[in-house]
Amino acid sequence: MNTINCPNCGSQDTTWKYGNDFYCYMCKKTFNFNGDNLKGKKINKNEPTKGYTYMNLESDSKFGKINKRKIITIIVSILLLFVIIWVKNSDIPINENSQRSSVSYPVSNNVSSSNNGNNSESTNAPDNIEAYVISQNFVKDNIVSPSTADFTIEPINVKCIGNKFMVVSYLDAQNSYGAKIREKYMCYLIYNGGIWSNVSNWTLMSLRIGDDIAYINKNKTEQEIAKDIDYLRTQ
């Protein structure tokens, strides 16, 4: 392979650039070679010799701009990709499932609570939400598939007179055929005192799920229970 000499300084420390263009590492200039060996000839910068075109590497802006343009395009494309991914992941649609509570409330027969060593729950009457939580426990005890039960975050309505509560809300659970359906339920329960989260401190009087009566307390007649419910509804 013949050595390509730089026509400006005569150095052989040259390399191919692109096309017929070569670059000299000694004088840091780009020159053109079309096959004529002009070693030793001097180049007039204003009138280039045949086969050579005098170009200053610093003024050869076309080559530099192409590289910069490619780099900028790649960087911008990567940034846009990250932005699109971030926007797509942060755009979470709001649907009916997001309005439901999928967390089971901590209700058991052995739940206790303390505040600086004192059980505040034993002296304070439960509120409507706490009665709603207890009603969910009674509902699960009277359906086919309690593990599939989902309840709304808040009840439809809660009525309270003294220690008597009437809770009305919705329930989503699987029926005996395995289909998950929504039912409206009405739960009449009485708080007997003590820690509200202890189910044994409550008495279930009646429970209606959909059109069916799921439970009736035998300590009262149906007429007495219906009278209590009608009284709670008027409050």
- Per-residue pLDDT in tens (0 to 9) along the chain, 235 residues: 456 788 888 887 888 777 778 888 888 888 887 654 444 444 444 444 444 443 443 444 444 445 677 888 889 889 888 888 887 776 544 444 434 443 333 343 333 333 333 344 445 789 999 999 999 999 999 999 999 999 999 999 999 999 999 999 999 999 989 999 999 999 999 999 999 999 999 999 999 999 999 999 999 998 999 999 999 988 7
Residue 160 lies in a domain: yes
Same-domain status, 140 and 203? yes
Residue 89 lies in a domain: no
Burial of 67 (0-12, 13-18, 19+ CB in 10 A): exposed
pLDDT of residue 216: 93
Count of the separate structural domains present in the chain:
2
Same-domain status, 139 and 188? yes
pLDDT of residue 83: 85
Parallel, antiparallel, or unpaired for β 14-18 and 21-24?
antiparallel
pLDDT of residue 224: 92
Task: Classify the C-alpha dihedral 35-41-45-48 as positive or negative.
Answer: negative
Beta bridge partners of 152: 100
Same-domain status, 62 and 150? no
Same-domain status, 138 and 183? yes
Same-domain status, 195 and 156? yes
Residue 88 lies in a domain: no
Same-domain status, 56 and 144? no
Same-domain status, 145 and 57? no
pLDDT of residue 97: 42
Same-domain status, 61 and 105? no
Residue 204 lies in a domain: yes
Same-domain status, 225 and 147? yes
pLDDT of residue 138: 96
Residue 146 lies in a domain: yes
Asked whether 161 and 202 are in contact (CB, 8 A), the reply is no
- From residue 47, alpha-carbon distances to 6, 44, 51, 54, 218 in Å are 17, 5, 12, 9, 117
Same-domain status, 11 and 60? yes
Enter the pTM of the model. 0.48
Question: How long is the chain?
Answer: 235
Residue 169 lies in a domain: yes
What range defines the domain where residue 11 resides? 1-72
Residue 44 lies in a domain: yes
Same-domain status, 15 and 56? yes
pLDDT of residue 103: 36
Residue 189 lies in a domain: yes
